[in-house]
Amino acid sequence: MSLLSNDNWQDSYKRLVGKCSVVCRIQDIREVTGKADNGKPQRDMTYINLLTEAETRTVDGEPLPAGHIVEVGLGDYPNPDPVGTEDGDRQHQANDISRRTIRQLVVSALGLPANTKNAAEQLRAAGGIEGLKGKRVVASLSATAKGMQNVDRFAAVPATAAVA
């Protein structure tokens, strides 16, 4: 049975995690290089797969058991339009948010102070992006009106949180 002939995709929005903060393990981080087309600039994506360690709820209030995989995506425009244009301002703002979120992920996963100046250097010392796999973070999640999973911020797991 093909994906389109199966009715299960109709309820895919219900699997989005509703607004919450939950301890997660980083499962995978991968980058996908986009391509410019139809006059739109190139947009690269970084996808982060997180495994929840506690029960959460969907946007419709249905329970999701611990072990649910949440995928969030962060976009980056490597060649944004000039600042001062509507598209350029939006693209630069999106880049700032994505870079800030990645920095929060690195700092939180490695247990560094929030004001760490050399987070990239610390990440290289930890084995790069691969060194983040299996690390625990607190992810503040929400869903957008367009049906996308969103991460509002990452934070370090408190020392009092039990290891699952």
| pLDDT bracket for residue 13 (50, 70, 90) | very low
pTM above 0.85?
A: no
What would the pLDDT profile of 105-132 be if each residue is shown by its tens digit? 999 999 999 999 999 999 999 999 999 9
Determine the Cα–Cα distance for residues 128 and 92; give it in Å rounded to an integer.
Answer: 25
Phi, psi for residue 109 in degrees, rounded to 5: -65, -35
What would the pLDDT profile of 22-67 be if each residue is shown by its tens digit? 999 999 999 998 887 777 778 899 999 999 999 999 888 889 999 9
Burial of 125 (0-12, 13-18, 19+ CB in 10 A): exposed
Cβ–Cβ < 8 Å for 21, 140: yes
Where exactly are the structural domains of the chain?
17-55+65-154
